[in-house]
């Protein structure tokens, strides 16, 4: 595969497959894409080769061992292009790399993204007047969980769509009224989850503290 982009200088090319190395800037990429391709190719006995020079684009070659088994013809599948999404997403995750990768997925889908690294920080944004269309939050975070954040946000802005992301299978049982997405997920999974009807449903539970309980 070749492109006609700006290419890479020798220093960048030498680090291109290095884990977490990226030229996109903070929050624009994880720096794991080429590293994962290189690692998978090595596991299969192959190799990723990159050729690039400034102003001359980049060529990537993926070499894999030949297979002696006969090939099997698969039916042609036509994938319909997905309509571009819109709206503002308040994305909350305490892991910077995960949050950055998810933010990139959302931006590629067409969403505007505002990031927060904690439930408390995200809630303060809403208290200060931020009104996102969606709240996408990891569940298990230090301090306030994603489910607690969702309930608190909806007491201020009940119209916000909510999607809770978690790697724990039992989290849906804790908040069956909220939409959930299991980790790991692909961009298509994220898009489908945000388009689900349950994102804008759910019971708003207000947290009321009586004077004699303070």
| Residue 18 pLDDT | 84
| Residue 77 pLDDT | 67
| Residue 25 pLDDT | 66
| Residue 161 pLDDT | 95
Backbone conformation region of residue 40, classed left if phi is above 0, alpha if psi is from -120 to 50, else beta: alpha
| Residue 81 pLDDT | 56
State which residues of the chain have pLDDT below 70.
20, 25-32, 77-83, 168-174, 202-214
| Residue 79 pLDDT | 55
The domains of the chain are located at 10-63, 88-200
Under CATH, which number does the domain 88-200 receive?
Answer: 3.40.50.2300
| Residue 78 pLDDT | 63
| Residue 75 pLDDT | 82
């Amino acid at each position: 595969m070749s492109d006609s982009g700006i290419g890479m200088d020798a220093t960048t090319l030498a680090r291109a497959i290095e884990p977490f190395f990226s030229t996109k800037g903070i929050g624009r990429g994880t720096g794991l894409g080429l590293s994962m391709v290189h690692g998978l190719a090595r596991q299969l006995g192959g190799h990723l080769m990159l050729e690039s020079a400034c102003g001359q684009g980049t060529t990537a070659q993926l070499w894999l061992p030949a297979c002696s088994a006969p090939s099997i013809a698969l039916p042609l599948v036509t994938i319909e292009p997905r309509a571009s999404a819109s709206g503002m997403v308040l994305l909350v995750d305490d892991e910077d790399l995960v949050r950055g990768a998810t933010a990139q997925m959302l931006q590629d889908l067409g969403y505007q993204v505002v990031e927060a690294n904690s439930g408390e920080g995200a809630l303060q944004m809403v208290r200060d007047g931020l009104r996102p269309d969606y709240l996408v939050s990891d569940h298990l975070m230090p301090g306030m969980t994603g489910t607690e954040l969702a309930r608190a946000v909806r007491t201020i802005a009940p119209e916000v769509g909510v999607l809770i992301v978690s790697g724990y299978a039992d989290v849906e049982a804790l908040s069956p009224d909220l939409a959930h997405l299991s980790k790991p997920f692909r961009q298509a999974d994220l898009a489908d989850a945000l388009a689900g009807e349950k994102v804008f449903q759910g019971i708003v539970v207000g947290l009321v503290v009586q004077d004699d309980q303070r």
